[in-house]
């Protein structure tokens, strides 16, 4: 076999290997591009983030997920989630969402937990009012008011004045252990301005008691229905009689009913 033939064979082998290598690289690049176009970055919690806790970079990480599988308000960078306040307890592996994080604009973190158009009101409590210490941030409660009835007796009347209020903080903390009871001296509740007025008035009139609600219970007591208005038939206009006499022995009687006037002749 001549040297020219051997050279041609070697050149063919080299060209084949080069073509195979280039084809492999091209296919690999196309597959990686297709994979990246079908994935998106999502921020998830690597540790449990308690209610009221500020999110820090070491609390979260980025993971790739198929497009469309993450919530629409999920964060795609760690920087966007860092510095926000958790309005719900986030477990390890939970996707961080804008609906569960409040933007911190300065001041205390408690102010960031208050929903728009609502207020935070603190209520002094003891071990009884505070539901035996099992009242913790994130719980929901009803407020019952008790006051003595008028008349000088010792009887008292109790009623539920506010329902389904969120506990923002106990004492001066918005984050506590979720299993151990904590006896506190004050509880901060979230409510509207109108509800705050009702609460402050009830505090001055009597005693308050908090009732712990099941978080899945959204039922409220039915509102009192207005009594139906019964139409009253109008009273007939009063009748007034005016008598007049004439010289021929006949008399005239004028009967007035409201705006109607009737004259009747009568024998005198």
Is 61 found in the same domain as 78?
yes
User: Is position 149 within any domain?
Assistant: yes
The set of residues, in sequence order, having a beta carbon less than 8 Å from that of 178 and lying 6+ positions away, is 89, 136
Is 124 found in the same domain as 96?
no
Alpha-carbon distance of 183 to 195, in angstroms, equals 25
Q: Is residue 238 helix, strand or coil?
A: coil
Is 45 found in the same domain as 132?
no
Six-digit token pair at 56? 């820090």
User: Is position 246 within any domain?
Assistant: no
Is 124 found in the same domain as 79?
no
Strand partners, 189: 121, 167
Q: Mean pLDDT, consecutive 10-residue segments, the chain of 268 residues?
A: 74 84 79 66 92 89 88 91 87 90 74 83 75 78 84 75 88 61 80 92 86 78 56 58 55 66 66
Domain region containing 84: 39-102
Is 196 found in the same domain as 117?
yes
DSSP code, position 151? S
Question: For the whole model, what pTM was predicted?
Answer: 0.53
pLDDT score, position 259: 66
**254 phi and psi, to 5 degrees?**
-105, 120
pLDDT score, position 195: 93
Is 121 found in the same domain as 177?
yes
User: Is position 82 within any domain?
Assistant: yes
Is 147 found in the same domain as 56?
no
The CATH number covering residue 83 comes to 3.90.1210.10
**90 phi and psi, to 5 degrees?**
-105, 125
Residue at a domain's end among 77, 102, 127? 102
Residue at a domain's end among 85, 102, 119? 102
Is 114 found in the same domain as 95?
no
User: Is position 132 within any domain?
Assistant: yes
The domain total for the chain is 3
Residue 147's H or E segment, with its range, is strand 140-148
Six-digit token pair at 112? 């960031």
User: Is position 174 within any domain?
Assistant: yes
pLDDT score, position 35: 47
Is 198 found in the same domain as 158?
yes
Is 128 found in the same domain as 54?
no
Is 149 found in the same domain as 63?
no
How many CB atoms are closer than 10 A to CB 135?
21
Six-digit token pair at 61? 């990480």
User: Is position 260 within any domain?
Assistant: no
Alpha-carbon distance of 251 to 243, in angstroms, equals 7
Q: Of 227, 252, 228, 226, whose CA–CA distance to 241 is shortest? A: 252
Residue at a domain's end among 81, 102, 123? 102
Is 78 found in the same domain as 21?
no
Alpha-carbon distance of 109 to 19, in angstroms, equals 62
For residues 226 and 239, is the Cβ–Cβ distance under 8 A?
A: no
User: Is position 267 within any domain?
Assistant: no
Helix ranges restricted to H, 2-97: 3-37, 78-81
User: Is position 263 within any domain?
Assistant: no
């Amino acid at each position: 076999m001549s040297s020219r033939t051997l050279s041609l064979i070697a050149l063919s082998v080299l060209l084949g290997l080069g073509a195979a290598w280039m084809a492999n690289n091209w296919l690999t690049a196309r597959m990686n591009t297709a994979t990246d176009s079908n994935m998106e970055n999502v921020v998830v919690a690597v540790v449990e983030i308690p209610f009221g806790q500020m999110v820090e970079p070491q609390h979260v990480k980025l993971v790739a997920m198929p497009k469309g599988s993450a919530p629409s308000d999920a964060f795609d960078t760690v920087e966007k989630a860092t510095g926000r306040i958790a309005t719900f307890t986030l477990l390890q592996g939970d996707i961080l969402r804008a609906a569960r994080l409040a933007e911190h604009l300065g001041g205390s973190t408690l102010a960031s937990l208050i929903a728009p158009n609502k207020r935070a009101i603190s209520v002094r409590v003891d071990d009884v009012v505070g539901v035996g210490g099992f009242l913790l941030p994130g719980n929901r409660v009803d407020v019952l008011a008790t006051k003595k009835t008028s008349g000088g007796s010792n009887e008292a009347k109790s009623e539920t004045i506010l329902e389904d209020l969120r506990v923002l903080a106990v004492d001066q903390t918005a984050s506590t252990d979720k299993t151990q009871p904590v006896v506190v001296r004050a509880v901060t509740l979230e409510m509207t301005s109108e509800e705050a007025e009702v609460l402050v008035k009830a505090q001055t009139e009597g005693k308050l008691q908090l009732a712990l609600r099941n978080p899945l219970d959204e039922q409220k007591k039915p509102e009192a229905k207005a009594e139906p208005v019964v139409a009253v038939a109008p009273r007939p206009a009063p009748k007034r009689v005016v008598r007049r006499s004439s010289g021929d022995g006949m008399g005239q009687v004028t009967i007035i009913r409201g705006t109607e006037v009737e004259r009747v002749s009568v024998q005198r």
